[in-house]
Structure 1
């Protein structure tokens, strides 16, 4: 038994854990795995799961197109999932002492499984390590609290707060609007503290019962884990308070969408110095190249920021989301905002990812774009002064179909993320879109049923 496994066993026993949820993330961000009694978990040499679960769509369908059979072992062998001792999260809502442990996935030869989103992020982080760099990220998660409903045909509605009323009008940054759900957020913060999630501020966004929680800046892999656990925590907490939560990118017609803004910078791995700032506090060439990389490669990685057909509803005209890869200082109309900050905190905020994105993949994509900019020394466009909405030379694909075509054509992504991952991800997203096209929408029934 290795020392890390021994430390893991000791820690679990000290905390009196009786049950383990062994978890891996699939491409859509759904948690999959097994629930195991503590003794069985400790006796086994890793959890085994069919690699095919990583090619499941959000509807639970397995990609079966013969063009993609080569992505999986023909014999259907299991992948080996090993617990990460740094990714243990207690589940305060469980009836008995339970921990969820995020696992890494390997094939039978011990190689990381390319289709695993967590391995994709680790692969990108390895590029930085090889250069003596360390990315630092700080995510911001937006979401809606909603009324509970069992009928997906009904529009989503705002829930009633402690006053007994639903919100009306715009309540951006309203403290009283947040106070309507104090009991819920007391549980959320308490549970997140038990789980060692680095939550920072909570604010009310522009939509009805739309909230944003910010995370402390830190290690990219750890933050991706934390977002995964946070989503689960929010769903558990809201169920206790007779409301629901959604991380859909655009859940309500004519209301603001929900984003996962990712602040990012790069440190020297040895000294910890922020490489985005010169000694005089100005933006470094490395920083400008990082922005240039985001501008050049974001159109090809957009499906990792906007993974669903609903994601692109957030990018419709006259919405709050920036539909561009322009950049500017303290400018919220650009996709790449450079907040006003001290030299030590010099960073860029990628405002394009939706709240529905898989956090491992969204962070990996953003960091890869910046990395490519630095090694290719890509110069950015001129920064935007004023509104960026009228500038269209750096616009993005406006549908998931167009975005997947651009991703498929990009040889650089296949080189750095792996051919198998890029092909598998595109296959899953196309299957999901095919399933979506099979559904007849209320709009079609309303305007076409008796008119055409």
Structure 2
């Protein structure tokens, strides 16, 4: 705690937000005066926090009492002094501290998304490997809208006009929101978030932010903090930022593309490349692992009903697990690079995924492929968007199908644990049941007076 306490005193912090990530990626925790935080060096939260749904409800009673103590006991939240972020938008000097969670015996809580990622990273550490990741986050800016039954619209830019048509890679269209993005960059720099390029994507007021490559846990923390930072910057400018996978009908969805490679910790060399610069067996095994296990881990990358709207036929998202060089129609793209920078871009995860779980799932699938020596399909040439020719390339196209595949996955239960797999699936099934109870605008529009 010495490093953390020194930071708090140097920055003259008066309040500390003690947070953990729940299954959805919502920051849950407590706000404490800095003196109390230093004295207690952590916090306690009820176990049930990790089985809350996106609506704040809980899983069914059978699963709840199977996974949790009947007394609803607290777990211990221990601050990670390497995950401390000053919050520049707060009036009071405030820091956000991400915590790890443990039971009363000091064992990591299996239901914690951050612990899941740390468990996967330990597998790599035992092999002497270190994953390197670089997420790309897509999102929409939308006008404020207090009625969830009304469709979302792009906000007015500096010109006083909303975007018309699609403005992919347009500098002028991105500049419409310069004041917002200037705050975003300034706040990210103040927090040590290593964001890089800003790109205008295909949809109206749809943008993408690229992160610099680095340590997987650090990058997951940064994405977790970035989402909140961007939302705060948007609210300051009277608009909203959304990471929904498919917020606007008939417009492109938003993804969290994850670039990934693996280095040997002793040599610092990329294990995807052989000494002569050609592709290694590990590289091919990693791709094969993604092809085989993404269908079983898909809810960790596409966690809601809305996530699967992004995968509908005819959309820009890749509905396949083909791989190919510089081929954006493949779910697994191999960007052009030097041999030592060889990497794989997983284009399947949505921007709505919990960053800890999406990165963990992708790294785990690749790890299994390498250690089991799996072989990928031949690389795709040309358009691969409609490819569903092989079992290894078939993605579940509904949340129900995906949850069943994960629930029955031996790999998920072996590597992620029975408690986490059961708990995560139960949370998403509870959300699905909640969704089914809602009558949609489509049903009112087309069925009200016709059936």
TM-score tier by shorter-chain length is over 0.9
Q: Where do residues 188-207 of structure 1 align in structure 2 (5 Å cutoff)? A: 188-207=184-203
Q: Where do residues 141-290 of structure 1 align in structure 2 (5 Å cutoff)? A: 141-290=137-286
Conserved 8 A contact 2:319-2:386 = no
Counterpart in the other structure of 2:383? 387
In structure 2, which of residues 52, 59, 81 is the aligned counterpart of residue 56 of structure 1? 52
For residues 385 and 332 of structure 1, the distance between their equivalents in structure 2, rounded to whole angstroms, comes to 11
In structure 2, which of residues 116, 120, 126 is the aligned counterpart of residue 124 of structure 1? 120
Give TM-score scaled by structure 2 length.
0.99
Q: How many residues align?
A: 448
Q: Where do residues 282-361 of structure 1 align in structure 2 (5 Å cutoff)? A: 282-361=278-357
Counterpart in the other structure of 2:88? 92
For residues 166 and 438 of structure 1, the distance between their equivalents in structure 2, rounded to whole angstroms, comes to 34
Give TM-score scaled by structure 1 length.
0.98
Conserved 8 A contact 2:298-2:402 = yes
Secondary structure at the counterpart of residue 70 of structure 2: coil
For residues 216 and 377 of structure 2, the distance between their equivalents in structure 1, rounded to whole angstroms, comes to 27
Secondary structure at the counterpart of residue 310 of structure 2: helix
Aligned-pair Cα RMSD in Å: 0.7
Give ranges in structure 1 of 5+ residues lacking alignment: none
For residues 206 and 104 of structure 1, the distance between their equivalents in structure 2, rounded to whole angstroms, comes to 38
Secondary structure at the counterpart of residue 328 of structure 1: strand
Shift of 1:389: 2.0
For residues 450 and 55 of structure 2, the distance between their equivalents in structure 1, rounded to whole angstroms, comes to 32
1:49-81 deviation per Cα after TM superposition (whole angstroms, max 9, x unaligned) = 001000000000011331441111122110000
Counterpart in the other structure of 2:415? 416
Give ranges in structure 2 of 5+ residues lacking alignment: none
Shift of 1:214: 0.1
Shift of 1:279: 2.0
Shift of 1:282: 1.4
Shift of 1:15: 1.2
Shift of 1:10: 1.6
Counterpart in the other structure of 1:403? 402
For residues 436 and 398 of structure 2, the distance between their equivalents in structure 1, rounded to whole angstroms, comes to 13
Shift of 1:247: 0.3
